[in-house]
Chains A and B, each alone.
Chain A
Amino acid sequence: MSNLEEKMSSVNLNAWFGQKQVLKDISMSIKAHTVTAIIGPSGCGKSTFIRTLNRMHELVPGARMSGQILLDGTDIYGNEVDPVRVRRRVGMVFQKPNPFPTMSIYDNVAAGLRLTGTKKGKNLDKVVRTSLEQATLWDEVKDDLKKPGTSISGGQQQRLCIARAIALQPEVILMDEPCSALDPIATAKIEELVVQLKENYTVVIVTHNMQQAGRVSDYTAFMYLGQLIEFGDTTTVFENPKSELTEKYITGKFG
């Protein structure tokens, strides 16, 4: 797997909220068409890290960063780079399913495309259907596309949010604890979906669930107090971690 092409990387990445440094000199390579899991205790910087990967970190007042985030070798923080374009290429799915509450299932998926004016009419229908199919939701909602996005179950709503992200044809999908609000059945469906998604996209997933990281990811990064403690292929990290800190965290002997 080490021969895989690099899709993104962070180079000596530091990030702050005001005076507080939350990421410390993180360098990590994310390979194309793989799932990379980010694990670590609450407050270790996992979510901040993935938010730097699509320039969402800078939207928080007082937040700043240094270092580089490369997407296909180009620094997404370069002067010429449009952050909106970056966020289209690097989509995000959040912890809690957040479909637009006033919109139908169809409109939720179509919203981004309508905003950017890139697809209309039959083309739009096609993209909505493909996105819902890729999110493994089409069969469940195809007869209810006009119903509100919030009328379906939590698990379905999260897959709707994934379909919404897919509709913009991103290259990388970031997921911030996408299953934390879901029951085990819905979680299993999202996990299956995550594994399927890597065929077409590169996925980075933040999770508190060790077993989930083990099940879905090819690579695992363990973060602690803003530092990247260990990064490696998931089997090695979970069977024979190099760092004692990683061992303690994943076996629950922490603190």
Chain B
Amino acid sequence: MQRLMDKGLEQLTATVFKMGEVAEKALTIAIGGFVKGKDTSEDVHELSEVLVAMTVEVEEKSFSLIAKYQPVASDLRIINSYMKIAYDFERYGRYAWDISYLGKRFGKLDSCDKWVHENIGVMGEKVLQMVKISNTALKSFDTELVKIVTETETEVDELYSQCLNKIVERAEITNECTVTNVLVVRYLERIADHATYLTEAVVYIATGKKASLR
């Protein structure tokens, strides 16, 4: 038997899953654009704004469900987690825009260190992989996938550290290179953190356990 709350929960779930798709798209465009030296800021900004509006929508739907049905147990865990996850997706959008804006602001950075640029590309791929896997884990409440995200986050953290070291070593190239690369690796590292938070929420939904995976 369908409960009165189920329809609202289904709508909320659909909105959160849609946010995941939009956020993944924004990051794919932004990271791909940065690696190829292409200005994607307009498209990414648009997607980022969509995510901001959808976060508000998730909050409103969640509050309405709480006020109307006073959910408990797995219902409560889902709603609570969806609000947190919506924030993670909103941050994805913001970081995607930040990354794409750097391309617009500083243009092509051909003279920057090749090693750093290549490794930012590797880091970007790993981060996108984390985003995709955590989205899949969310849709299936699959806690097994969480391990892959956690392992990849460790690799991203290692690359972040290596890139920072290299940027400091080669800081003499140009100030634009230094600023851009520091910011991009920082944004990528933060996106990876949010992908990990998201999987922590998946664990909480599925098991009720508040895991700290970082």
Contact = CB atoms under 8 A, between A and B. Distances in A.
Interface of A: 210-211, 214, 238-241, 246-247, 250-253, 255
Interface string B1-45: 101010000000000000000000000000000000000000000
A214 B70 CA distance: 10
Nearest to B1: A255
B50 interface: no
Contacts of B107: none
B74 to A, nearest CB: 6
Given A211-B70, A239-B72, A252-B3, 19 more contacts: A210-B70, A210-B72, A214-B72, A238-B72, A238-B73, A238-B76, A239-B76, A239-B77, A240-B73, A240-B208, A246-B73, A250-B73, A251-B3, A251-B71, A251-B72, A251-B73, A252-B5, A253-B3, A255-B1
Contacts of A211: 70
Contacts of B209: 240
Nearest to B76: A239
A106 B3 CA distance: 47
B75 interface: yes
B208 A239 contact: yes
Interface of B: 1, 3, 5, 70-77, 208-209
28 contacts: A210-B70, A210-B72, A211-B70, A214-B72, A238-B73, A238-B76, A239-B72, A239-B73, A239-B76, A239-B77, A240-B77, A240-B208, A240-B209, A241-B73, A246-B73, A247-B74, A250-B72, A250-B73, A251-B3, A251-B71, A251-B72, A251-B73, A251-B74, A251-B75, A252-B3, A252-B5, A253-B3, A255-B1
A200 to B, nearest CB: 29
Nearest to A249: B73
Nearest to B75: A251
Contacts of A240: 73, 77, 208-209
Contacts of B71: 251
Nearest to B3: A252
